[in-house]
Structure 1
Amino acid sequence: MTPIDRFSGHAGLYAQYRIDYPAELFDFVLSFVTDRQNAWDCATGNGQVAGALAEVFSHVDATDISEAQLAQAVQHPAIHYQLCTAEQTPFADHTFDLVTVAQALHWFDVEAFHREVRRVAKPGAVLAEWGYGLVALGEELDAVLVDFYRNRVGPYWDPQRAYIDNAYATLPFPFADRQQASFTIRRSWTLDRFLNYLRTWSAVRQYMHENEEDPVIHLGETLKPVWGAGEREVQFPVFLRLGRV
C-alpha cells in the first residue's frame, strides 16, 4: 500500500492554521501511562502532539511521510523527527511506553500499523488514536457549512474521510483495556482565521487543483453577514480510543 500524502503541498498553511488539542485530552491519555521514558508520535505533521509529549516524556520520536511537514515542526530538545511510514519504522522492538496518532489513522494501512505498534511498544504500553470531526459554528451557520462540506467540496474528499465521519467506529482496534472518550476543542476565531483553516482541508486543496478557483471565497461571503468583523466561538468534536499492547 503506497502511503498517501495530502498535506506536503500546503505544509506552511497547515502549520499556521490547524488546531491543537486540549490539555484534558493529554491528561486523560497520560492517566493510563505509568512509565514516561519513550513516546512515539506517528504522523506527527508539524509536531503539535510531539511538542506536548516532550513536556512529560524523556524522549519523543516523531515520524511523518512528509519532509515539508517535518520542516515546519516545532523544535524541542526531547524530540527526534524522522521520515518514515506508519507501517514500517526503524525502531527497536519494545521501545515505547506510549504511541499516539492524531487525525491520521484513516490514511494508514491500519492492520499493518497495529502490527508495527505491537512490535515497537513495550508490553503494557498504551496506544492512543484520536481525530476530530466537522467543526460546529452555531445554529445560524451550521447548515451553510454542512452544505459546503457535503456538496461543494464533498466530491473531492478521499474515501478515507468516511472514517472520520463515523469516529473510527469501523476501523479495527484489537487492544486490551479499551477506553473511549470525547472532548470539545473551543476556539474564538475571526472569519479570516476560520477560512484559512478550511484551506487546509484536503478536499479544498483538491477542489482548487481541479477547478483553479478557491471555493472558500464564496463561502466566506455567505458567512460574513452573520459572523461579522469580530471573533466567534468554533467547536471541534474530538473522539479518542485507547488501549494496552
Structure 2
Amino acid sequence: MAQLFLKQAKQYALTRPVYPPELFQFIASKTVTHGLAWDVGTGSGQAARSLAEIYRQVVATDTSPTQLEQAPRLPNVRYEVTSPVMSWAELEQKVAPESSLDLVTIAQALHWLDRPTFYQQVKWALKKPNGVVAAWCYTLPEIDGTVDPVFRAYYADSGPFWDPARRLVEDEYRSIEFPFEPVEGVEGTGPVRFVTHQAMSLDEFFTYMRSSSAYQTAKERGVELLDGEMAGRFERAWNERGEGPKTVKFPVYLRIGRVGIGN
C-alpha cells in the first residue's frame, strides 16, 4: 500500500482534505480521558495534527518514511515507521503497551489494512473498558452542478486504475467489518456523516486529482487521465460561474466503536 503514495507524497500532503474540527470534537467526546492516541496510517499527519490539540500525547505511524517526512513536527507527536503488518513486539515497542491507549484513529486507511490482525492489536492496546477506535474515509468531492458532472466522468475513466480496496471507500465504509461495541449516543457503529470544506483553485484541484493512486497507476501504464481534452472540460466548467477558487466539499464517513471488558 505504501508504494502507491511514494511518488506523490508532497502533492498528497498539500491537497489531501483537512478534516473538520467537528469530527475530532465528536470523537474526543466519546473517550473518557485524553491521554494517549494512536493515529494509524498517518501519511503526512493531517489527523495527527488535530489530535495533538486534544490529546496529551499522540503516536502516529505509517509504513512510508517518505510520507512521514511531510508531516508536521509537533512537541507531543511521535512518528514511527512500522511494518505493513506489525508484530506484537513491534506494537508494544513502537506504539504502546497493553491497555494504555485512549483512542485509535485510522483516517482514509482502514481499507488498506490486514483488518483481522489489526483489530486484535487495537483491542489489546486500548484501555478496557471504553477505549475508542475511530476510522473514517472521505468520498468524491462536490463543487457545483457544472463541475461535478465533469468530475464524475473523469472518475469513471479512472475506475480501472483504482485498487479493488477502493470499493470500500465508495461504499462509505458501510460494508467494512468493524467488530466493536457502540459508543454512547450512536446507534450501532455508524457510519456518521461529516462534511469538510476546502477552498481550492483549479490548479490546486488538478494537483489533488494528480495525487491519487489511480492517476499515478494510469500514468505508469501510459494513460493520461487528465489530458488536454479533459483538462479543457474542467476549465470551461470551473469558470462558467466565475473564475477563481471554489469551495470543494468532501463528505466524510466515520465508523466509531469501543472495546468492552470482554474484548
Flag whether TM exceeds 0.5 (same fold).
yes
| Map of 1:33 onto structure 2 | 31
- In 2: Cα distance, 1:216 partner to 1:133 partner: 23
Amino acid at match of 1:139: G
- In 1: Cα distance, 2:254 partner to 2:167 partner: 16
Of 114, 117, 123, which residue of structure 2 is paired with 1:118?
A: 123
217 and 234 in structure 1: CA distance in 2 versus 1, 3 angstrom threshold: farther
| Map of 1:182 onto structure 2 | 193
217 and 189 in structure 1: CA distance in 2 versus 1, 3 angstrom threshold: farther
Moved more, 86-95 or 60-69: 86-95
| Map of 1:131 onto structure 2 | 137
Deviations 1:180-227 (A, max 9, x none): 210111222211111101111110011111116462554321111221
Matches for 1:4-153 after TM superposition, within 5 Å? 4-85=2-83, 87-88=85-86, 89=91, 90=93, 91-123=96-128, 124-150=130-156, 152-153=157-158
Which 4+ runs in 1 deviate beyond 3 A? none
Amino acid at match of 1:235: K
| Map of 1:204 onto structure 2 | 215
30 and 205 in structure 1: CA distance in 2 versus 1, 3 angstrom threshold: same
Moved more, 130-139 or 212-221: 212-221
| Map of 1:225 onto structure 2 | 236
Residue 242 (1) aligns with residue 256 (2): yes
**1:191–1:220 Cα contact (<8 Å) kept:** no
Unaligned ranges ≥5, structure 1:
none
- In 1: Cα distance, 2:30 partner to 2:197 partner: 25
**2:58–2:76 Cα contact (<8 Å) kept:** yes
Amino acid at match of 2:134: A
160 and 112 in structure 1: CA distance in 2 versus 1, 3 angstrom threshold: same
Instruction: State the SS of the aligned residue for 2:74.
Output: coil
Unaligned ranges ≥5, structure 2:
183-187
Q: In the comparison of the two structures, how many residue pairs are matched?
A: 242
**2:132–2:257 Cα contact (<8 Å) kept:** yes
Deviations 1:220-244 (A, max 9, x none): 2111122123112211111001000
Seq. identity, %: 36
- In 1: Cα distance, 2:38 partner to 2:117 partner: 16
CA RMSD, aligned part only?
Answer: 1.5
**1:130–1:238 Cα contact (<8 Å) kept:** yes
- In 1: Cα distance, 2:112 partner to 2:229 partner: 29
Cα deviation for residue 4 of structure 1 reads 5.0
Moved more, 42-51 or 216-225: 216-225
Amino acid at match of 2:179: P
- In 2: Cα distance, 1:212 partner to 1:146 partner: 18
**1:43–1:104 Cα contact (<8 Å) kept:** yes
- In 1: Cα distance, 2:102 partner to 2:16 partner: 27
- In 2: Cα distance, 1:217 partner to 1:66 partner: 32
**2:36–2:58 Cα contact (<8 Å) kept:** yes
- In 2: Cα distance, 1:135 partner to 1:114 partner: 29
